[in-house]
Structure formats: structure tokens, C-alpha cells
Chains A and B, each alone.
Chain A
């Protein structure tokens, strides 16, 4: 009888059609909320410091640099965000004389970027802007005692706002130079922005200096809405930096507000509580569990793009409508992929990536070889979006190594032979579930300079056959190896077998499979491969010191320009000599000369010709086995619309739209509690308890033996 007291309420609750496994509060139902997950805890939300993907997915919704990437257009195009128009640099010589637009790069002493802002853009509500009836700041110079009762930003009671002005952008550029802030791009910017280095050195000597009162010679607020930046020489890629949150505005009063003594001890710092003009503002900041963005009530007028690419019909339905469409974004922390995936399938996350573990469950290949969602996923209305990332995963030879490095014929042929032998098509198929395109050079698709089809193949490794790139045969690789002086994988001079070393960080079970594959591939041309697995720090040290021989590496583009890939093989970027990003330590004077010419050019046939020559040099020298360009697969539920993968922009939440009613209905359909295990549990307990009681009674009532 008593058991029914438990079962009946359970049945009643289940019968009500509610779900028990909803991780969000019932009050969220029916609301336009986007549910996303983050894996890595963000370290910095200060726009001057933040440089990782996880951080950008939050910061980009809050901070607004002057430019942004067009959401739909490809190739990636810069358009104004807070700027009234995209700036066109003016060139000046050393005597401050204006030069024509097509002036020779050598004659240009500096480029002047003049950025004019749209008026009427306001910051999110924040206590730093709060003022009393006399217009005096309420919370700027508080005493330690006054701050004692403050535990959170909400404790300040009042908020305010103010208009975005040019000096806020100038202030942020000064912050980039501040040694106390340790911006990751400070070193790079000191090479380009005039006065940046001197400003930084001045702050080093006087750390207490007020940034707003110190002048940086290359940066100036001309008037309320206009500021200028002087960039050394000609650096067309600078415009891309203006689309990153490093160049977003920071109001001096916000910086001052957070620097009040006592707030840092409560974790109330700008690094954790961003203040911007963007469509969203951070209202809950618990990087250990969840981060919540709410619609910024002061967000300026911005509309959905009215044009895109020919295939963009389905994502142009909201053309011209006011942004954003979603009221709230909830980022929940999911450190493990299994719960993340299962919650996505239950409808509790709106988008998800695909790990190798669940790839087969999610994706099937069509007869034409195109990836599409599996039947089960399709039944749930899950959609797949794929895009090629502006990145590359490659295997590099250390050019300083006495065996595989150097620029002589012997080493070059050896590298070419290995490049042919390593079948990256198979590698992509086995280790990336086919999510990648074999690389033909350093430039991925979508970047100026990349060629599709026969024109784009790497003739050192591939032949063009049957309308596609076909890897050269292993016989060709063996021949190159023999020409290099290693017939059958043995040194012709000494007769000793050729043993090469792969340095790697992986030491797990999955890595062992990968290493076995590498060994197998090298063995195809009779080269013995020894894997030297180590921890991440030691691996980095080997790369820095140049003691690695062969290693895997990768690069994600900062901006969609060939310069951002080709500089990875530029001599003065050599890792060992200069501590740069050229981890292969490749150093070819002709390549360097072409790079210096190409980097300052606008995209043009002339630039294309130079890039083609540079890529041809690289293919011949083969400092990298070119590896592959990863393809991103993203799944989303049917209730999320306007989603188009944009690998450069991170501020895409404002374009998305949620059908919350449909989501609620489908969640209810998918997540009704299953009750039969309760009955089994009751039965199971009964089967144990009843005989046990009987036995006990029999023993208690039995006679002593």
C-alpha cells in the first residue's frame, strides 16, 4: 500500500508533461535564450589581454572595435561597426608629406588611419558611469569603508551610461602599451604604432602614471568622434587588427572605477567584468559554472545584412531587421565531451561540435561523398554546417637539423620523399573522420593566393589525374630517397639505416595509434621513425632550442590575409634565432625578399604572382609536409536560424534567432521521464527484502542447535 504513495505522485508528475532533466530554471521556458557551452575557463575578459577562442566568444558580444567582418560575404570582408566608414590609410613620407595611394612602400614613413565614429552609441548600464543629481560621479572615489559592503556590481545600486567617444579608443591603445596589463600583442604593436614603444618604456619607469594624461605620439583623438593612428611604413593588414577586441574602446572612468582599492580582492576587476557598447552585457560571471549575457538596453541601431552570397537565401530572411534577435545567452561550462553531446541531443544546447567519439552517430556520407547528418539526427531536425577553417595542421622539418634540415640537394630530396610517403589523405580519414582537405601549400582555401584545381596542386607531391590531385607513388618517393643518398632507407656512404625522430607531446592511448601510423608511413620508404614523446613544456623547449627534428604544429589565422600564413616561414621570424613563429627555422633569402614585397601590397594580380612564386619555392624546399586544412563541422537544432559559419568573426550571436516555443515543445517530446525502471527497482527491493525477512523470522523463531 505504502509503495503507491511513492508511485502515484511520480505518475502524476510524469503525466503533467513536464521534464525532470531540464538543467535550466522553469522560468526560462518560452524565452528567447541561446544556450551554449564552453569547455575552457576564460582567463581574461580584458580586451587588451584576451586572445583565446573561448574568451572571444564572450568578449566579441560585448566589446565593439571600429570594424567587423561582414557576417555573410565571402571572402571575408571588413565593414564598419562603430566607425562611420572603413578607414582608408593615407601615406606620408619622413617629411610628413602626403604621398599618393600607389606610392612605393619604401618611400612611406607612416600610414595614417583616421577613424570617424558614428555618433549616438552608448555604453551598457554600469555603476562606473553613475552620477548624482549634480552630475558628480557616484562611485569613482569611494573610501575603503564604503567599499566594504560591496560584494558584487549589483551592490552599487545605481548605474549610468555615456556616449562612446574617440578618446575611449585612444585610451585602449595606450592600455595595450601598458606593461602592467601585459597585452599579448604589445610586442607586435610596438613595431607598428608610432610612439607605442616609447610610451611603454615611459610607463615602465612611472607605473603610477595616468594613461589618459600621457600622450602617445602615434595615436590622437582629433575631436569627439574622430581619432587617428599612425602606423609605421605601409601595413595594410592593420585594418584587420581594427576588427579585433584589442582595439575596442575602454572608458577611462571604468578603468579608474575598477582600480579602486579593495575591489580587486573581490574579483571586481575589468578583466572579469567587461564594459562595452555591444549588443550584450555580461550579467553573471561565474567562469567555473556559467556566464550569462543579457541584451544591452543601450545598444545602438544595427540591422541584419541585406546581402550575402548567392547560396544565402535561407539566412537572409531577416535582412534589414534590427539586431539582436536573442535576449539572453547562457554559456554553461561543460568540461567533458560526453555530457555536452548528450545534452545537445536532449535539446539543452542549441549548437554543438562533433568529437571523434560521436562522429559516426552524427554524420553519414552521401553517395557523392558529402557529409550529412545521420538519419537519427535528421529525424530530430538537427542540421549540419561545414566550413573550412582558416588554419593549417602541418608536420615540420627543423631546417637547422643536420639530417633533414639545410638547403642542399640531399636534404631537400629527403624531405620531398617523406612528403610523398606520408599519405595525409589517409591521415585525415583515420584521425579526423575525413574532416580536412589535404594541403597543397601554406595557404588554406578562402585566403587570397589559394588556387583551386590543377593550378593549385603541389607538383612535388601530387600529379593531376582523372580531374583530381593524386599523390605520387611510393616508387617515386623511393627514387627521390635513393637520389638523396639513402637507397632502401640506408645511407649509401655508411650503409647504416636512416633513423629519423618525431618529437611530440602526446603520450596517451590515442596518440600511440597515431605514432604507429607515422611509423608505418615512414617504413613504406624504409625509414625508421623513432617517436620522442614528451610533455608540453619540454616539447616547447625543444622547438625553441631547435633540438627537435620532425614535429607536428598548427596555425589559426589572426586575419584572412596571406601574410598571416606566409610569415610562418619568413626568416626573421625564425624560432631559434629570433624567438618568432617560424618553428621550422626556414630561411631562404629569395623567399624573404618576396615576402617583404608581398606583405605591403593590396590584393592584386601582381601580389598573386609573387605569392605563387613564394609557394613554389616552399614546395620545392619542403620545410613542411603540408598536412591538411581542418574542416569545421557544427550541428544546430532546427529552432536556431540565421546560422552561417564565420571563421573570422566571433560577434555572430546578434544575428541568430531562436524559436523558443518550438524548442520547448521538442524538449518535452524528447525528455519525458521513463518510469518502468521504478517498477523494476521496487520489485528488486521486494525480492531481496521479503526472503530476508522470512529467513530472519525463521532463524529467530527456530530452535538453537
Chain B
């Protein structure tokens, strides 16, 4: 397995270079370094000298991918792409275009993001599995039919509606929790409870419906019939056998996103005023802060690759027949 993991890690390098290349190309198709300078320097009274000096100070005065004025290695190294990419592979993200240290920002924002994303993931997973098991348990009854109807309805509604509706009902009309805001430590509970509930509720429809399909497929298998024939209670059959065997496809979808939980949720954090990494990325895109955008894309890619590796490892844990070679 170690050889397998090392091989996967080596594969990750060209993937990350490719992702980086794409990020640079896409960003600079939409924005030029002059545009970035104008955004940072403000709209009023921006002189060409100020733009030039901003570009020099931030290293955007060079060509993007190759430097025709240089020869040899410098043809590629004396470029924006090379100078901005290489430090990221050492996990040095530098400073944002407005001068703040990106690594420190990420460190301080990962916590709030996790405070929402982790409970949404864990509770959401439990709720989805439970609801799916219930529908599978009551299959071909009214409970199952209405459960599926409810799931389809729930997954057809935009997540923005859940957020605005949840804030309106729970926070505005019933006054149970603050509408938005965040505090560190234990005080954060009253701020995260509503986004977590909304996060779980908004994912319930699609999650439960998918898991129901998996469980129904398992319920029809021979080993379930055998277990029932042995006189094992239905509850035990479901939780001990069906759930365990249905885990592999669930793991595929779930484990891969665990590392990405750090990245936070773009819309949720914006509406609830959570100072997490999701809103950090969104702000950076809006303010054309390329230093943050490329760092977040890079970290996202790294986390996704880690997620895929974890998924592979989890297969071996869930199903002893699988070996990583």
C-alpha cells in the first residue's frame, strides 16, 4: 500500500502543475495585471505610474508563461507563472494583493469553516443514512413513497432558499438564534446551530434518495434473505448487514470531500457572516486578488487529491477483499 501511496503522490505533482497552469490561464484571460492594479489602487485618480509601480511591487510586471527577452532557463523562470507557482509547492503562499499574509489568514479562517462544515458533514451523513434506511425499511409503503416525494422536492429547492427561509423563520420570526455573526470558542454554538441545520436539511433530499437506492439494491441480495431466514430481526439485518455492505459507494462520495471541508461553503458563510475560507475565496474573486485565488485553488486541489487517496484507503477498510497495489 505504501508503494501505491507514493506513486499516487508522485502523480499529484503533474496534476497540481496542470491545475495551476489552468488557473493562471483562466484568471489572466479575464483580468490583466493592469486591471488587478486598478482594483487594488482604487477607482479614482489612478495614474499609469501608480499602476506600473504596483505591478513591479507585486511581481506582475513580467510575461505570464515565457519571457522572450530571456534565454536558457530564464525563458521560463523569469515569468509570473514560475515565480508565483514554485513557492506554492513549498506551501509558501506569500501575501495577498492588499498586503496580508495568506498563510495566517488561512490558519485563522479554517477553524470557523470547520465549525460549520464538519457538523454538517457528520450530522448530514447520519441523517441521510438514517432517512434512507427508514425509506428502505418501509419500502413499497406510503412512508417510502412520501419519503421519495419529499426527497425530490427537497433536492429541487435552491440552497439559497433554505438559507433565506431558515433565517426568516428560525432567526427572524421565532428569535431562536442570531440571524448572522460569529464568535470564537463555545459562544460560537448559537451562531453555528442554524447554518448546520440548514446545511443538513438542504443536503438531505439528494443524499437520502441516493443512499436509499444503494440500500434497496442491498436489501434484494441473497445474504439478506438468508439472514432473515435465520430469524434475525429486520432492524439487525439493516444495521448490521445492509448498512455495512452499502458503505462502499457511500464512502466513495463521502471520504473524498472530508479534506475539502476546510475550504468552507461560499454562500453559507456569506449569509451567516462566518469568517471562513469560503467567504475568503469569494471575496478574493470579487476583488481580483490573484494571490489568494491561486493559493485557494492550489490548496483545494491538494485536499482533493488527499481525499481521493483517503477514499482508496477506506475501501480496504470497508471491504477486506480490496487490496491497494
Contact = CB atoms under 8 A, between A and B. Distances in A.
Given A288-B279, A673-B175, A700-B234, A180 B50 contact: no
Contact of A41 (B179, B181, B283): B283
Contacts of A335: 270-271, 273, 279
Interface in B101-116: 101, 104-105, 109
Interface string B19-59: 00000000000111001001011101111111001100100
B190 A289 contact: no
A289 B178 contact: no
Interface in A332-383: 332-336, 338-339, 342-343, 345-346, 348
A431 interface: no
Given A184-B42, A339-B273, A699-B234, A537 B175 contact: no
B175 A269 contact: no
Contacts of B141: 695
A186 interface: yes
A493 interface: no
Interface string B48-75: 1110011001000000000000000000
B109 to A, nearest CB: 7
Q: Which of A43, A271, A338 has the most CB of B within 10 A?
A: A43
B323 interface: no
B178 A537 contact: no
B182 interface: yes
Q: Please tell me the size bucket of the interface on B.
A: 35 or more
A41 B98 CA distance: 11
Contact of A23 (B164, B181, B279): B181
Q: Please tell me the size bucket of the interface on A.
A: 35 or more
Contact of B30 (A188, A267, A537): A537
A408 interface: no
A5 to B, nearest CB: 19
Interface stretch (B81-89, B166-174, B210-218): B166-174
A581 B45 contact: yes
A51 B180 contact: no
A187 B50 contact: yes
Contacts of B46: 184
A265 B101 contact: yes
B275 interface: yes
A267 B275 contact: no
Contacts of A271: 99
B100 to A, nearest CB: 5
B273 A332 contact: yes
Contacts of A501: none
A433 interface: no
Nearest to B286: A40
A41 B273 CA distance: 12
B273 A51 contact: no
Contacts of B38: 540
Nearest to B183: A25
A185 interface: yes
A540 B37 CA distance: 13
B191 interface: yes
B40 A186 contact: no
A537 to B, nearest CB: 4
Contacts of B234: 696, 699-700
Interface string A162-198: 0000000000000000011010111110000000000
Given A20-B177, A182-B41, A537-B35, A264 B101 contact: yes
Contacts of A288: 105, 109, 275, 279-280
B172 A52 contact: no
Contacts of B167: 338-339, 342
A579 interface: yes
A45 to B, nearest CB: 10
A288 B175 CA distance: 25
A671 interface: yes
A288 B108 CA distance: 10
Given A25-B183, A264-B101, A540 B53 contact: no
A540 B42 CA distance: 13
B53 A179 contact: yes
Contacts, number: 142
A346 B181 contact: no
Contacts of A671: 175
B98 A334 contact: no
Given A25-B187, A699-B234, A334 B180 contact: yes
B258 to A, nearest CB: 24
A336 B30 CA distance: 25
A186 B191 CA distance: 44
B153 to A, nearest CB: 16
B164 A338 contact: yes
A558 B42 CA distance: 13
B30 A339 contact: no
A141 interface: no
A21 interface: yes
B275 A187 contact: no
Contacts of B279: 288, 335
Interface string B183-224: 100010011000000000000000000000000000000000
B50 A186 contact: yes
Interface in B251-301: 270-273, 275, 279-280, 283, 287-288
Contacts of B44: 51, 184, 558, 581
A19 B175 contact: yes
A286 interface: yes
Nearest to B164: A338
A339 B179 contact: yes
A219 B191 CA distance: 52
A274 B49 CA distance: 27
A182 B52 CA distance: 10
Contacts of A456: none
B138 interface: yes
B233 interface: yes
A511 interface: no
B179 A674 contact: no
Nearest to A50: B42
Contacts of A558: 44
10 contacts: A25-B187, A182-B54, A187-B45, A288-B105, A288-B275, A339-B272, A342-B179, A674-B174, A674-B175, A696-B234
Given A19-B175, A338-B271, A692-B138, 4 more contacts: A52-B42, A184-B41, A267-B104, A674-B173
Interface of A: 19-23, 25, 41, 43-44, 51-52, 179-180, 182, 184-188, 264-267, 269, 271-272, 286, 288-289, 332-336, 338-339, 342-343, 345-346, 348, 535, 537, 540-541, 558, 579, 581, 671-674, 677, 692, 695-696, 699-700
Please give me the 8 A-B residue pairs with the lowest Cβ-Cβ distance, nearest first: A288-B275, A23-B178, A187-B47, A23-B181, A289-B275, A339-B180, A537-B35, A674-B174
